[in-house]
A and B are shown apart, each in its own frame.
Chain A
Amino acid sequence: MIKKLISRLEPFDDWVNNTSEEENLAAKDALKEFLWQIKGLKPSSEYAKSSITQLHTSYILHLVAVKKALAQKKYTRACNEIITLLNKEPLVQPRILNNLINLLAEELNK
Chain B
Amino acid sequence: MFEKLLRKKNTDVSDVAPKREFHFALGFIKKAIEDEDREGKIEILSFVEKLLKEDLRSDMLTKIIYNPDNMLNRNSWFPQQYLNYDSSSAQIIEVDLSTACVIAYPWNSRRYEKMIKILAREDFKYDKTNHFAEYYVPLDICFITNGHHSIAAGCGYKKGSIKAKQVDITPLFEKIYTDGQSWYECGTGKKVFDVPDFRIAILFEIARMKYKLQIN
Contact = CB atoms under 8 A, between A and B. Distances in A.
Interface of A: 43, 45-49, 53, 55-61, 63-64, 67, 94-95, 98-99, 102
Given A46-B11, A47-B11, A55 B58 contact: no
B55 interface: yes
A102 B55 CA distance: 12
**Which 9 residue pairs are nearest across A and B when measured between Cβ atoms?**
A95-B55, A94-B58, A57-B25, A56-B16, A47-B11, A57-B21, A99-B51, A46-B11, A99-B54
Given A45-B65, A94-B59, A63 B13 contact: no
Contact of A60 (B10, B15, B20, B28): B28
B143 to A, nearest CB: 19
B41 to A, nearest CB: 12
B151 interface: no
A95 B59 contact: yes
A102 B47 CA distance: 11
- Specify the main secondary structure of chain B where it touches its partner: helix
Given A47-B13, A95-B59, A98-B58, A60 B21 contact: no
Interface of B: 10-13, 15-16, 20-21, 24-25, 28-29, 32, 44, 47-48, 50-52, 54-55, 58-59, 62, 65-66, 198, 202
Given A56-B21, A60-B25, A102-B54, A67 B12 contact: no
A10 to B, nearest CB: 25
Most A C-beta atoms less than 10 A away, residue of B12, B52, B54, B59: B54
Contacts, number: 65
16 contacts: A43-B58, A46-B66, A47-B10, A53-B24, A55-B16, A56-B16, A56-B198, A60-B29, A61-B28, A64-B32, A64-B47, A94-B55, A95-B51, A95-B54, A95-B58, A99-B55
Contacts of B55: 94-95, 99
B11 to A, nearest CB: 5
